[in-house]
Amino acid sequence: MNHAGREPAKRRVRTGVPRAPLPGGGRGRAAPSGACCDTWPEDVMSGIDEAPGGPWSTDDALTQGLADTVRRTGASIGAIYLVEEGEPALRLVAMCGLPLEFSAPWRRLPLTAPVPVADAIREDRLVWVGGQEDMARRYPRVTAVLPYRFSLAAIALTGARRCWGGLVLMWPADHPRRATPRERSHIAGSAGRLARLLDEAPRPPTLPDQPRTVSVDTEPARRSARTTPAAPTALAAADYAERLPEGAAALDLEGRITFITGTAARLLGSSADRLLGTRPWQSLPWLDNPVYEDHYRTAVISRAPLSYDALRPPDHWLTFQLYPDASGISVRITPSGKQPVPHAAPRPTAVTATGRLYQLVHLAAALTETVSVRDLVDLLAGQILPAFRAQGLVLSVADAGRLRITGHYGYPAEAVERLDGLPLDTGLTPVGHSLVTGTSAFFSGPEELARSYPRAPWMSGKEAWAFLPLVITGRPVGCCVVSYDRPHVFTADERAVLTSLAGLIAQALDRARLYDAQHQLVHGLQEALLPRALPAVAGLDVAARYLPASHGIDVGGDFYDLLRLDGTTAAAVIGDVEGHSIAAAALMGQVRTAIHAHATAGGSPDQVLARTNRLLSDLDSDLLVTCLYVHLDLARREVALASAGHVPPLLCRGLRRAEVLEVDPGPLLGIDVGARYPVARVPLDPGAVLALYTDGLVEVPGNNIDHSTGELVEYLASAHDHDLEDLIEGLVHCTWPTGRHTDDIAVLLLRTLREAPAPG
């Protein structure tokens, strides 16, 4: 009988606070209805108030607070992110329920990253993900790295003075897809307590390179079930396992074998002494495959039982059944009753660093989401460098036989100036040789680099480098240099991952450059079609804003204009051509030109729209056009409006006196050649604000357009006296608080001044 595998005492974070058992038995289930999680033990909140030198630090209190939160919410996994000072990034500072190596892809995240915790912080709300399908739909990058079944909640840690960061909680695969109101209340309450802990801390918490880990103590619940002393019970349990015909083993959350029976060792073809303390996929060559380690990861994260078969050479098929909980995994090993065909066995692979493999998948998924070169540089600086503990980055593109630096991080300006514009075949640094040969070059220290390139070390001031050529099908795209402030020995798996990343970075850079070129072309076309500046009109204060859609590079059809007709009259126009294309932009230019010509010729609002409509009917365009034309008589304090199916304008006459101007709309332009456009006349008081806008401002997915318009009216009534530029900003934020508008937006604001211009 082998007792050497008894589970060692679990490592615990020092807190000085006695641990309470988990509500409901401590096995990752939700707290029962009678459980209260409105308060923490007083020592958790008061421990940080002790004088410096006391037994607790802010870090200890925060880590213990996380453990208590996980215990009281019934979660299986928890993590705390804090916002880095002066950087738009999040740092993972504490976690429980997962091995430390699992956190590698998630230790530092940009605040703009498409992940639940970043969304929760940016939008200051609880983000709930009910399962794998929900995660795949909303956060595909996360799913690529964590393709497992679990539920997740993320919520901001918003204190009295600031948002400190975010809390992430995960539940096993059998958790209901929807969170109950009580559960949401518990999560929000836990986040509030953690934020208050941070508010009241005498010193801010540290931001470690690796997160602090803590185990959720379930031992009291286990001990309460025992009726005999601990040592005899352990011996009896081991004897019981040894007498069973199948093998039994236990893994901790790090994947190490903490207990194994003699039968299990014989089935695995080894001895218990050689297996204890090791990970199976490291100590058994025939299990050295990422597929088998992934089964372990699945069990740890989903906390759901699973089973799989593996072939122990030459012909012994074994069935492994994994039963996980919060403390580890119980493994049942039996000879397989079925005989899978030989080719069904996973083929051996050279990849043994599964943690690095997952990290590569995570970074590859992130690279696919970069759009512009600026996005790519931010991603490399924010995620690639921390993943490899590097401090410097230079990204160059091949341009007319030279390397032009398009982005850098961690380098002084003078160093960038020296490195910019080097020829592609330069011999000053390894860049030229790497591009010619297409192979990466790694230098662990300045002496190693100086032997072949004497001038290279002093050009950058760094002390270790990875030169990664960016090549696509033999065509050099550029070069990525990852550097270190101190000497650094590159391990074999670091070299492999960085070399693999170079190919992905090359493709991302090529796409980003193409996008930037197209975006610049589109932006230039859009600027050419919109007025460069609005004319000054006596008695009128004006401001305008055009916001292209948040995604895509196609030019839009939204337009606006302001025309000074004479000393006391002016015309304002706003419209929207259907679609996002060159055709839409061209039609928009024709509509603006036609309106300008008919307005300056002295036409009334209905005449201007009717004549423009006839022109578009002659052009026989398939695109629909909405338009609102406004004639302002500033001497008479009157405005006349005509609409071709456009969204109605807003008028604010003063504090809490805003309304939607109901203008009887005529048909869209270009549909009916004989269409008529009714005219509405409205008095325009001194200080009044007239707001013209396109439908992109109010057509919010999942929100009724009348509701969005009502929100704009309320905001305009309360902020009518603001500066017009600030007022536009507020109106856009009112309906699109995250800034991710899905359509183009044009806004034109007109405010009448207190003194009207004199007639003539």
367-378 pLDDT, tens per residue?
776 778 888 888
Which pLDDT score, from 0 to 100, does residue 283 have? 85
Contact 154, 132 (CB under 8 A): no
Q: What is the pLDDT of residues 459-516, one digit of tens each?
A: 888 999 999 998 887 788 889 999 999 999 988 778 877 887 888 888 888 888 888 8
Buried b (16+ CB within 10 A) or exposed e, 135-172: beeebebbbbbbebbbbbbbbbbbbeeebbbbbbbbbb
Using an 8 Å Cβ cutoff, are 132 and 146 in contact?
Answer: no
- What pLDDT, on a 0 to 100 scale, did the predictor assign at position 759? 59
The DSSP secondary structure of 519-553, one letter per residue, reads HHHHHHHHHHHS-SSPPP-TTEEEEEEEE--SS--
Q: Could you tell me the strand order of the sheet in which 329-335 lies?
A: 257-260, 247-251, 329-335, 316-324, 306-312
Q: Which amino acid is at 244?
A: L
Q: State both tokens at 124.
A: 């200051």
Residue bearing tokens 């020995």: 489
How many Å is the Cα radius of gyration of the chain?
Answer: 33
Taken in order 378, 383, 388, 391, is the CA torsion positive or negative? positive
Residue where the block lists tokens 């208590």: 68
For residues 628 and 606, the answer to whether their CB atoms sit within 8 Å is: no
3-state secondary structure 646-685: CCCCEEECCCCCEEECCCCCECCECCCCCCCCCEEEEECC
Q: Are 732 and 697 in contact (CB under 8 A)?
A: yes
Strand pairing class (212-213; 89-96): parallel
- End-to-end, the C-alpha distance of the chain in Å comes to 110
Rounded-to-integer distance, Cα 320 and Cα 153, Å: 31
Angstrom distance (rounded) from CA 137 to CA 139 = 6
Residue type at position 106: W
Answer whether 756's CB lies under 8 Å from 635's CB: yes
| Residue ranges of domains in the chain, CATH in brackets | 23-220 (3.30.450.40), 370-521 (3.30.450.40), 530-752 (3.60.40.10)
Q: Which residues of the chain have pLDDT under 50?
A: 1-56, 218-228, 340-353
Looking at residue 107, what is its pLDDT?
85
Residue 738 buriedness (CB in 10 A; 0-12 / 13-18 / 19+): exposed
> So what's the pLDDT on residue 541?
92
The DSSP secondary-structure symbol of 360 reads: H
